[in-house]
Amino acid sequence: MNSLSNKVALVTGASSGIGQAAARLFAREGAQVIVGARRQRELDLLVEEIVEAGGQAAALAGDVQEAAFAQALVELAIERFGGLDVAFNNAGTLGSMGPSTELGASDWEETIRTNLTGAFWGAQHQIRAMLKRGGGSLIFTSTVVGYTVGFPNMAAYAASKSGLIGLTQALAAEFSGRGIRVNALLPGGTDTPMGRLVASTPEALRHIEGLHALQRTASPDEIARSALYLASDASSFSTGTALLVDGGVSIHRN
């Protein structure tokens, strides 16, 4: 327990799903937590829950597409808790789904701006703060989609999330020698609001579950525990990795 004691951790996409589960877990493990997402009410309820449980947290609502929001989150971490040690860039969107030949420019750009460009703006400001602390752990939520698994009608999502793996490797090569580890987390099917958009019927859910060797999808808490591993010193020799947490979907053939 307390694997993040005396650490300051920032989590985006924290209003639901994996981000919310990670924020709770990081706080239970001793971190002072900054949470960001678009929905203020959900963030306020999360902060209230963490504080009532004896933790420390602060929230800021905004859009990760905006570099100014990335900067404001880091400034809040410094103002409230003195710096930044861990950043879990988890915010993302499924984007528009459908035939690639019918995907509009605005649909493509919206997905890329949220999933890839937003993560870059976050990392840019987070790394600057971590360098002042002598190091830290930077984590991106990617996915198996577009990496080990291809699905039709998900071109923008797959491209944006695959881009995070390249970003992870580039930043790891650039900053690991200065104490900042950079890793990507690649979940398989997970029971989140976004996941339910894909598994929108009982039949679709059974199909997706059957793609996994474990024959089920993950809970947000299961993915959060892997994020904790990358955030903590337990992964002190891991950087530049694409960590599969996918229930065996990448190796399963039925």
Tell me the per-residue pLDDT of 58-101, one tens digit each, with 9 for 90 and over.
999 999 999 999 999 999 999 999 999 999 999 999 999 899 99
pLDDT at 254 over 90: no
Q: Say which range, 35-49, 168-182, 186-200, 234-248, has the weakest mean pLDDT.
A: 186-200
With cut-offs at 50, 70 and 90, classify the pLDDT of residue 209.
confident
**CA angle (32 as vertex; 31, 36 as ends), nearest 5:** 110
pLDDT in tens, 141-191: 999 999 999 989 999 999 999 999 999 999 999 999 999 999 999 999 998
pLDDT at 44 over 80: yes
**Average pLDDT score over residue span 25-54:** 97
Which among 61, 85, 57, 90 is positioned nearest to 73, based on CA atoms?
A: 61
For domain 8-245, say whether CATH 3.40.50.720 is its number: yes
pLDDT for the residue numbered 192:
85
- The Cα-based distances of 139 to 51, 53, 238 in angstroms read 24, 25, 11
CB-based contacts of 20-23 (< 8 A; 24+ apart in sequence): 20/46, 20/220, 21/219, 21/220, 21/221, 21/223, 21/224, 22/88, 22/90, 22/223, 22/224, 22/227, 22/228, 23/50, 23/57
Confidence (pTM): 0.95
pLDDT for the residue numbered 104:
95
Per the annotation, the verdict on 147 as an active-site residue is no
**Domain spans in the chain, listed from the N-terminal domain onward:** 8-245
Determine which one of 157, 188, 211, 249 is catalytic.
157
